[in-house]
């Protein structure tokens, strides 16, 4: 059981980290609370499923194609529906809710409400210190860590990453320094949606797909972002694993735990916020600003 808790905690935490950091990035740069963020994750997962089962596209080709498709869709939605009202935060919030509902209804119309599964890319398992880890789980974990590492390198060691961090810290100063804030916001949207697409690609062989699969991760990543400190990338990373392991512990240790995992994980967030209202890295983020 301990091995199941560790493996599932790492997998859930990694997927939440990927989603939460993307969510946090676009909020930090453009102050957009993108409720449709996990809907893009769902669209990527369904696109891969469709490509595999209806078009016969190989796994390794379907995944990057789905991520590119989702990034293009995200940029189109940004230009058409978000950018024109970007200065009105409440309107943006409502627009992203509407977008998420549209994606859900279109998915329901195209794929019906049936649960859909996809065979793993890799069969078999590896035994590490007596713990059996499926190759597919190991591959998913490595891919998520690799993507997170690339995002960290991009943000910390490139001029464009520096521009994104500067804009997140103070948009007015970035604008006065001659940075194209609108272009940076659009690029950040592409990165954010791309991370959601990667998360969708990672979960296809692990989870069952349904048109409402975007709701539970949305609640969890909002909890992760609040727990880690709004706008803090490292806070989102740490918060994702805290809630991922809390969820895994509840599922495997409590009777009927799968029905309680969301509420217990959110309770952890509330307890932390009662002790530290700004989140785990809220003060550090403010100091950075």
Give the whole-number percent of the chain exceeding pLDDT 70: 95
The two structure tokens encoding residue 236: 């989102």
Q: What is the pLDDT of residues 1-51, one digit of tens each?
A: 677 788 888 888 889 999 999 998 888 888 888 999 999 999 999 999 999
* Residue 132 pLDDT class (50, 70, 90 cuts): confident
- Residue 69 has a pLDDT of 95
Residue 282's pLDDT is: 63
Residue 98 predicted with pLDDT over 90 = yes
8 A C-beta contact, residue 144 and residue 15? yes
Closest CA to 206 of 194, 219, 217: 217
Residues paired with 126 in a beta bridge: 133
Nearest Cα neighbor of 31 from 234, 167, 146 is: 167
- Rounded to the nearest integer, the mean pLDDT of the chain is 86
Q: How far apart are CA 75 and CA 82, in angstroms?
A: 10
Residue 285 pLDDT more than 60? no
Comparing 98-107, 151-160, 219-228, the range with the smallest average pLDDT is 219-228
**Cα→Cα distances 232→29, 64, 91, Å:** 11, 28, 24
What's the whole-model pTM score?
Answer: 0.87
Instruction: Tell me the longest C-alpha to C-alpha distance in the chain.
Output: 58
Distance CA 263, CA 253 (A): 15
108-116 average pLDDT score: 89
pLDDT for 194:
94
């Amino acid at each position: 059981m301990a091995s199941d808790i560790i493996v599932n905690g790492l997998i859930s935490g990694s997927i939440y980290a990927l989603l939460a950091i993307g969510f946090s990035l676009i909020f930090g740069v453009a102050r957009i609370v993108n409720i449709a963020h996990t809907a893009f994750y769902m669209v990527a997962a369904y696109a891969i499923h469709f490509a595999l089962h209806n078009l016969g596209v190989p796994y390794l080709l379907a995944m990057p194609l789905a991520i590119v498709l989702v990034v293009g869709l995200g940029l189109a939605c940004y230009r058409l529906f978000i950018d024109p009202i970007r200065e009105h935060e409440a309107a943006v919030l409502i627009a992203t809710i509407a977008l998420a509902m549209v994606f859900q209804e279109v998915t329901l119309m195209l794929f019906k409400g049936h649960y859909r599964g996809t065979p793993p890319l890799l069969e078999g398992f590896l035994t590490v210190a007596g713990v059996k880890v499926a190759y597919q789980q190991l591959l998913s974990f490595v891919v998520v860590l690799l993507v997170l590492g690339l995002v960290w390198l991009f943000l910390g060691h490139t001029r464009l990453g520096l521009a994104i961090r500067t804009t997140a810290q103070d948009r007015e100063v970035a604008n006065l320094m001659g940075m194209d804030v609108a272009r940076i916001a659009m690029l950040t949207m592409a990165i954010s949606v791309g991370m959601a697409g990667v998360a969708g690609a990672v979960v296809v062989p692990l989870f069952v797909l349904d048109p409402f699969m975007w709701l539970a991760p949305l609640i969890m990543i909002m909890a992760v972002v609040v727990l880690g400190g709004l706008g803090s990338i490292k806070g989102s990373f740490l918060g994702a694993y805290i809630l991922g392991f809390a969820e895994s512990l509840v599922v495997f240790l409590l009777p009927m735990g799968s029905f309680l995992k969301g509420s217990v994980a959110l309770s952890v967030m509330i307890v932390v916020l009662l002790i530290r209202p700004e989140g785990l890295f809220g003060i550090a983020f403010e100091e950075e600003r």
